[in-house]
Protein backbone atom coordinates (compact mmCIF):
# COMPACT_ATOMS: atom_id res chain seq x y z
CA UNK A 1 0.00 0.00 0.00
CA UNK A 2 2.69 2.45 1.04
CA UNK A 3 4.72 1.61 -2.02
CA UNK A 4 1.95 2.40 -4.46
CA UNK A 5 1.33 5.71 -2.68
CA UNK A 6 4.99 6.63 -3.04
CA UNK A 7 4.97 5.59 -6.68
CA UNK A 8 1.87 7.67 -7.34
CA UNK A 9 3.51 10.62 -5.66
CA UNK A 10 6.81 10.56 -7.50
CA UNK A 11 5.77 9.02 -10.81
CA UNK A 12 4.76 12.17 -12.72
CA UNK A 13 7.99 13.93 -11.74
CA UNK A 14 10.14 10.96 -12.73
CA UNK A 15 8.42 10.54 -16.09
CA UNK A 16 8.67 14.25 -16.84
CA UNK A 17 12.37 14.30 -15.92
CA UNK A 18 13.01 11.36 -18.21
CA UNK A 19 11.12 12.91 -21.14
CA UNK A 20 12.84 16.29 -20.86
CA UNK A 21 16.25 14.71 -20.35
CA UNK A 22 15.95 12.35 -23.34
CA UNK A 23 14.59 15.15 -25.56
CA UNK A 24 17.46 17.52 -24.89
CA UNK A 25 20.02 14.74 -25.25
CA UNK A 26 18.63 13.69 -28.64
CA UNK A 27 17.73 17.10 -30.05
CA UNK A 28 21.31 18.08 -31.03
CA UNK A 29 21.37 15.03 -33.34
CA UNK A 30 18.43 16.28 -35.39
CA UNK A 31 18.78 20.03 -34.95
CA UNK A 32 22.13 21.66 -35.59
CA UNK A 33 21.80 24.93 -33.70
CA UNK A 34 23.03 23.70 -30.31
CA UNK A 35 23.71 27.22 -29.03
CA UNK A 36 20.00 27.94 -29.35
CA UNK A 37 19.16 24.74 -27.49
CA UNK A 38 21.73 25.69 -24.87
CA UNK A 39 20.19 29.13 -24.33
CA UNK A 40 16.76 27.55 -24.16
CA UNK A 41 17.91 25.22 -21.42
CA UNK A 42 19.48 28.16 -19.59
CA UNK A 43 16.11 29.87 -19.54
CA UNK A 44 14.32 26.68 -18.51
CA UNK A 45 16.68 26.52 -15.52
CA UNK A 46 16.19 30.20 -14.69
CA UNK A 47 12.42 30.05 -15.03
CA UNK A 48 12.33 26.92 -12.87
CA UNK A 49 14.72 28.42 -10.31
CA UNK A 50 12.59 31.55 -10.09
CA UNK A 51 9.53 29.35 -9.79
CA UNK A 52 11.12 27.56 -6.82
CA UNK A 53 11.09 30.85 -4.95
CA UNK A 54 8.10 32.71 -6.37
CA UNK A 55 5.86 29.72 -7.01
CA UNK A 56 6.43 28.10 -3.65
CA UNK A 57 6.92 31.04 -1.28
CA UNK A 58 5.43 34.07 -3.06
CA UNK A 59 8.65 36.10 -3.05
CA UNK A 60 9.27 37.46 -6.55
CA UNK A 61 13.01 38.10 -7.02
CA UNK A 62 13.30 40.87 -9.59
CA UNK A 63 17.05 40.80 -9.17
CA UNK A 64 17.26 37.07 -9.88
CA UNK A 65 19.85 37.84 -12.56
CA UNK A 66 22.21 38.88 -9.75
CA UNK A 67 22.65 35.23 -8.75
CA UNK A 68 23.12 34.25 -12.37
CA UNK A 69 25.86 36.87 -12.73
CA UNK A 70 27.44 35.87 -9.43
CA UNK A 71 27.60 32.28 -10.69
CA UNK A 72 29.10 33.35 -14.01
CA UNK A 73 31.77 35.49 -12.37
CA UNK A 74 32.46 33.04 -9.56
CA UNK A 75 33.00 30.21 -12.03
CA UNK A 76 35.12 32.26 -14.43
CA UNK A 77 37.37 33.67 -11.72
CA UNK A 78 37.96 30.18 -10.34
CA UNK A 79 38.82 28.89 -13.84
CA UNK A 80 41.23 31.78 -14.37
CA UNK A 81 42.98 31.70 -11.01
CA UNK A 82 42.96 28.04 -9.96
CA UNK A 83 43.68 24.77 -11.70
CA UNK A 84 40.55 23.04 -10.45
CA UNK A 85 38.44 21.00 -12.87
CA UNK A 86 35.76 23.10 -14.57
CA UNK A 87 32.90 21.29 -12.87
CA UNK A 88 34.33 22.17 -9.46
CA UNK A 89 34.58 25.78 -10.64
CA UNK A 90 30.90 25.70 -11.65
CA UNK A 91 30.04 24.42 -8.18
CA UNK A 92 32.15 27.28 -6.82
CA UNK A 93 30.08 29.69 -8.91
CA UNK A 94 26.92 28.30 -7.36
CA UNK A 95 28.54 28.75 -3.97
CA UNK A 96 29.22 32.41 -4.83
CA UNK A 97 25.52 32.85 -5.62
CA UNK A 98 24.56 31.14 -2.36
CA UNK A 99 26.93 33.41 -0.43
CA UNK A 100 25.28 36.41 -2.04
CA UNK A 101 21.89 35.00 -1.03
CA UNK A 102 23.12 34.59 2.55
CA UNK A 103 24.21 38.23 2.62
CA UNK A 104 20.84 39.26 1.20
CA UNK A 105 18.95 36.90 3.51
CA UNK A 106 17.61 39.75 5.66
CA UNK A 107 15.64 40.94 2.61
CA UNK A 108 13.23 38.07 3.30
CA UNK A 109 11.91 40.10 6.22
CA UNK A 110 10.42 42.47 3.69
CA UNK A 111 7.03 41.85 2.23
CA UNK A 112 5.97 41.58 -1.40
CA UNK A 113 6.99 44.46 -3.58
CA UNK A 114 9.58 45.81 -1.11
CA UNK A 115 11.42 42.53 -1.38
CA UNK A 116 11.28 42.54 -5.19
CA UNK A 117 12.65 46.04 -5.59
CA UNK A 118 15.31 45.66 -2.89
CA UNK A 119 16.43 42.48 -4.61
CA UNK A 120 16.57 44.33 -7.94
CA UNK A 121 18.67 47.05 -6.32
CA UNK A 122 21.01 44.42 -4.88
CA UNK A 123 21.60 42.91 -8.32
CA UNK A 124 22.30 46.39 -9.71
CA UNK A 125 24.84 47.00 -6.94
CA UNK A 126 26.62 43.78 -7.81
CA UNK A 127 26.61 44.75 -11.49
CA UNK A 128 28.06 48.23 -10.83
CA UNK A 129 30.71 46.81 -8.51
CA UNK A 130 31.74 44.08 -10.94
CA UNK A 131 31.82 46.41 -13.95
CA UNK A 132 33.58 49.25 -12.13
CA UNK A 133 36.74 50.19 -14.04
CA UNK A 134 38.66 50.48 -10.76
CA UNK A 135 38.29 46.73 -10.27
CA UNK A 136 39.49 45.84 -13.78
CA UNK A 137 42.43 43.89 -12.38
CA UNK A 138 40.13 41.54 -10.48
CA UNK A 139 36.85 41.36 -12.38
CA UNK A 140 37.88 42.67 -15.77
CA UNK A 141 35.65 45.69 -15.13
CA UNK A 142 33.60 46.74 -18.14
CA UNK A 143 35.81 44.62 -20.41
CA UNK A 144 34.52 41.34 -19.03
CA UNK A 145 36.31 38.04 -18.67
CA UNK A 146 37.62 35.40 -21.01
CA UNK A 147 37.84 31.73 -20.00
CA UNK A 148 38.70 30.35 -23.42
CA UNK A 149 41.14 27.83 -22.00
CA UNK A 150 38.18 25.86 -20.63
CA UNK A 151 36.10 26.18 -23.81
CA UNK A 152 34.09 22.99 -24.33
CA UNK A 153 30.69 23.37 -26.02
CA UNK A 154 29.83 19.70 -25.72
CA UNK A 155 30.78 19.35 -22.07
CA UNK A 156 28.96 22.52 -21.11
CA UNK A 157 25.88 21.38 -23.05
CA UNK A 158 25.75 18.12 -21.12
CA UNK A 159 26.31 19.94 -17.83
CA UNK A 160 23.43 22.29 -18.61
CA UNK A 161 21.19 19.29 -19.27
CA UNK A 162 22.16 18.00 -15.84
CA UNK A 163 21.52 21.37 -14.20
CA UNK A 164 18.14 21.57 -15.91
CA UNK A 165 17.17 18.11 -14.68
CA UNK A 166 18.34 19.09 -11.20
CA UNK A 167 16.11 22.18 -11.23
CA UNK A 168 13.12 20.12 -12.34
CA UNK A 169 13.87 17.49 -9.69
CA UNK A 170 13.98 20.21 -7.04
CA UNK A 171 10.62 21.56 -8.20
CA UNK A 172 9.21 18.03 -8.05
CA UNK A 173 10.50 17.69 -4.52
CA UNK A 174 9.02 21.06 -3.54
CA UNK A 175 5.69 20.05 -5.01
CA UNK A 176 5.36 16.51 -3.72
CA UNK A 177 7.27 16.15 -0.46
CA UNK A 178 6.40 16.87 3.14
CA UNK A 179 8.67 19.92 2.86
CA UNK A 180 6.53 21.07 -0.08
CA UNK A 181 3.38 20.66 1.98
CA UNK A 182 4.90 22.92 4.63
CA UNK A 183 5.68 25.51 1.95
CA UNK A 184 2.14 25.29 0.67
CA UNK A 185 0.79 25.86 4.16
CA UNK A 186 3.14 28.82 4.62
CA UNK A 187 1.93 30.45 1.45
CA UNK A 188 -1.67 30.19 2.50
CA UNK A 189 -1.19 31.41 6.03
CA UNK A 190 2.26 31.76 7.62
CA UNK A 191 0.89 32.24 11.12
CA UNK A 192 -1.21 29.07 11.09
CA UNK A 193 1.66 27.18 9.48
CA UNK A 194 4.06 28.15 12.24
CA UNK A 195 1.44 27.13 14.82
CA UNK A 196 1.30 23.75 13.13
CA UNK A 197 5.03 23.33 13.65
CA UNK A 198 6.48 24.65 10.41
CA UNK A 199 9.73 26.58 10.85
CA UNK A 200 8.61 29.41 8.58
CA UNK A 201 11.84 31.42 8.61
CA UNK A 202 14.11 28.42 8.21
CA UNK A 203 12.17 26.84 5.36
CA UNK A 204 11.91 30.14 3.53
CA UNK A 205 15.66 30.58 3.83
CA UNK A 206 16.25 27.06 2.49
CA UNK A 207 14.12 27.81 -0.57
CA UNK A 208 15.87 31.15 -1.08
CA UNK A 209 19.35 29.59 -0.97
CA UNK A 210 18.27 26.71 -3.23
CA UNK A 211 16.82 29.09 -5.77
CA UNK A 212 20.01 31.18 -5.70
CA UNK A 213 22.18 28.07 -6.13
CA UNK A 214 20.18 27.01 -9.20
CA UNK A 215 20.70 30.44 -10.81
CA UNK A 216 24.39 30.32 -9.85
CA UNK A 217 24.82 26.92 -11.51
CA UNK A 218 23.08 28.21 -14.63
CA UNK A 219 25.30 31.30 -14.68
CA UNK A 220 28.44 29.22 -14.22
CA UNK A 221 27.66 26.81 -17.04
CA UNK A 222 26.50 29.70 -19.23
CA UNK A 223 29.82 31.51 -18.75
CA UNK A 224 31.70 28.29 -19.44
CA UNK A 225 29.75 27.81 -22.69
CA UNK A 226 30.11 31.43 -23.76
CA UNK A 227 33.78 31.60 -22.67
CA UNK A 228 34.02 35.35 -23.38
CA UNK A 229 31.50 37.72 -21.85
CA UNK A 230 30.92 41.29 -20.72
CA UNK A 231 29.29 42.19 -17.41
CA UNK A 232 26.18 43.41 -19.27
CA UNK A 233 25.69 39.96 -20.80
CA UNK A 234 25.24 38.22 -17.46
CA UNK A 235 23.66 41.06 -15.45
CA UNK A 236 21.09 42.50 -17.84
CA UNK A 237 17.67 42.95 -16.29
CA UNK A 238 16.37 41.25 -19.42
CA UNK A 239 17.39 37.90 -17.92
CA UNK A 240 15.23 38.45 -14.84
CA UNK A 241 12.39 39.58 -17.07
CA UNK A 242 12.65 36.49 -19.28
CA UNK A 243 12.68 34.20 -16.26
CA UNK A 244 9.63 35.93 -14.77
CA UNK A 245 7.63 35.99 -18.00
CA UNK A 246 8.46 32.39 -18.91
CA UNK A 247 7.52 31.13 -15.44
CA UNK A 248 4.31 33.18 -15.32
CA UNK A 249 3.33 32.16 -18.82
CA UNK A 250 3.64 28.47 -18.05
CA UNK A 251 2.19 28.73 -14.58
CA UNK A 252 4.05 29.22 -11.30
CA UNK A 253 3.80 26.75 -8.46
CA UNK A 254 3.76 23.80 -10.87
CA UNK A 255 6.63 21.64 -12.12
CA UNK A 256 5.89 21.61 -15.83
CA UNK A 257 4.65 25.22 -16.12
CA UNK A 258 8.00 27.04 -16.20
CA UNK A 259 9.51 24.38 -18.49
CA UNK A 260 6.66 24.64 -20.96
CA UNK A 261 6.62 28.44 -20.70
CA UNK A 262 10.35 28.76 -21.34
CA UNK A 263 10.36 26.34 -24.28
CA UNK A 264 7.28 27.81 -25.98
CA UNK A 265 8.16 31.46 -25.52
CA UNK A 266 11.86 31.06 -26.25
CA UNK A 267 11.06 29.22 -29.47
CA UNK A 268 8.64 31.97 -30.37
CA UNK A 269 11.24 34.61 -29.46
CA UNK A 270 13.72 33.07 -31.89
CA UNK A 271 11.01 32.53 -34.47
CA UNK A 272 10.14 36.21 -34.82
CA UNK A 273 13.79 37.18 -34.62
CA UNK A 274 15.44 39.93 -32.63
CA UNK A 275 16.11 42.34 -35.49
CA UNK A 276 13.89 44.93 -33.80
CA UNK A 277 13.94 44.39 -30.03
CA UNK A 278 11.20 46.92 -29.39
CA UNK A 279 8.60 44.75 -31.12
CA UNK A 280 9.47 41.90 -28.87
CA UNK A 281 9.40 44.17 -25.83
CA UNK A 282 5.93 45.34 -26.85
CA UNK A 283 4.79 41.76 -27.26
CA UNK A 284 6.12 40.85 -23.83
CA UNK A 285 4.52 43.85 -22.20
CA UNK A 286 1.13 43.04 -23.69
CA UNK A 287 1.58 39.39 -22.75
CA UNK A 288 2.37 40.26 -19.13
CA UNK A 289 -0.67 42.54 -18.85
CA UNK A 290 -3.00 39.97 -20.40
CA UNK A 291 -1.63 37.14 -18.26
CA UNK A 292 -2.05 39.07 -15.02
CA UNK A 293 -5.57 40.16 -15.92
CA UNK A 294 -6.95 36.98 -17.43
CA UNK A 295 -4.71 34.03 -16.67
CA UNK A 296 -2.71 34.71 -13.47
CA UNK A 297 -1.98 30.99 -13.07
CA UNK A 298 -0.49 30.54 -16.53
CA UNK A 299 -1.48 28.49 -19.55
CA UNK A 300 -1.22 25.19 -17.71
CA UNK A 301 -4.14 26.36 -15.55
CA UNK A 302 -6.32 26.05 -18.65
CA UNK A 303 -5.59 22.34 -18.58
CA UNK A 304 -6.71 22.04 -14.99
CA UNK A 305 -9.87 23.90 -15.93
CA UNK A 306 -10.51 21.11 -18.41
CA UNK A 307 -10.25 18.64 -15.57
CA UNK A 308 -6.66 17.48 -16.13
CA UNK A 309 -4.46 17.36 -13.08
CA UNK A 310 -1.57 19.71 -13.79
CA UNK A 311 1.59 18.50 -12.24
Instruction: CB nearer to another protein: give 38 or 242.
Output: 242
| DSSP string across the chain | -HHHHHHHHHHHHHHHHHHHHHHHHHHHHH---HHHHHHHHHHHHHHHHHHHHHHHH----TTTHHHHHHHHHHHHHHHHH----HHHHHHHHHHHHHHHHHHTGGGGGS-HHHHHHHHHHHHHHHHHHHT-GGGHHHH-GGG-EE-GGG--HHHHHHHHHHHHHHHHHHHHHHHHSHHHHHHHHHHH-HHHHHHTT--HHHHHHHHHHHHHHHHHHHHHHHHHHH-EE-HHHHH-HHHHHHHHHHHHHH-TTSSHHHHHHHHHHHHHHHHH-SSSHHHHHHHHHHHHHHHHHH-TT-THHHHHHTT----
Contact flags string 161-190 toward another protein, x per CB under 8 A = ------------------------------
257 forms part of the interface with another protein (CB under 8 A): no
Told to check if 209 binds another protein by CB under 8 A, we report no
Based on the shown chain and the rule CB under 8 A, indicate whether residue 271 belongs to the binding site for another protein. no
Name the residue nearer to another protein (CB basis): 134 or 149. 134
Count residues binding another protein (CB under 8 A): 39
Closest CB to another protein among 102 and 117? Answer: 117
Options 99, 241, 295, 299; binder of another protein; rule CB under 8 A: 241
Q: Choose the binding region for another protein from 19-27, 37-45, 277-285, 298-306 (rule: CB under 8 A).
A: 277-285
**Which window, 15-23, 39-47, 170-178, 290-298, contacts another protein (CB under 8 A)?**
290-298
Segment near another protein (CB under 8 A), from 20-28, 90-98, 118-126, 158-166? 118-126
Q: Which of 199, 285, 305, 308 binds another protein (CB under 8 A)?
A: 285
Q: Which of residues 76-115 bind another protein (CB under 8 A)?
A: 106-107, 109-110, 112-114
Instruction: Answer for the pair 60, 115: CB distance below 8 angstroms, yes or no.
Output: yes
Interacting residues with another protein (CB under 8 A): 58, 60, 106-107, 109-110, 112-114, 116-118, 120-122, 124-125, 128-129, 132-134, 237, 241, 244, 248, 278-279, 281-282, 284-289, 292-293, 296
Amino acid sequence: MRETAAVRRWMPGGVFLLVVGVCFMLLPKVYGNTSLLFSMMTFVVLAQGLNLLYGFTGYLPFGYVGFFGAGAYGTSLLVLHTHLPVLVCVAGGALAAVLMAVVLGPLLRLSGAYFSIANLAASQILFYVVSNPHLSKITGGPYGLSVQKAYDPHGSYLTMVAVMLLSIALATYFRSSRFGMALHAMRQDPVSASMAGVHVVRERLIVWLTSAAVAGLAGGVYAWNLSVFYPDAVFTLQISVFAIVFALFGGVGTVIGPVVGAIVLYTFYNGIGISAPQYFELFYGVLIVLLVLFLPNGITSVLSRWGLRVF
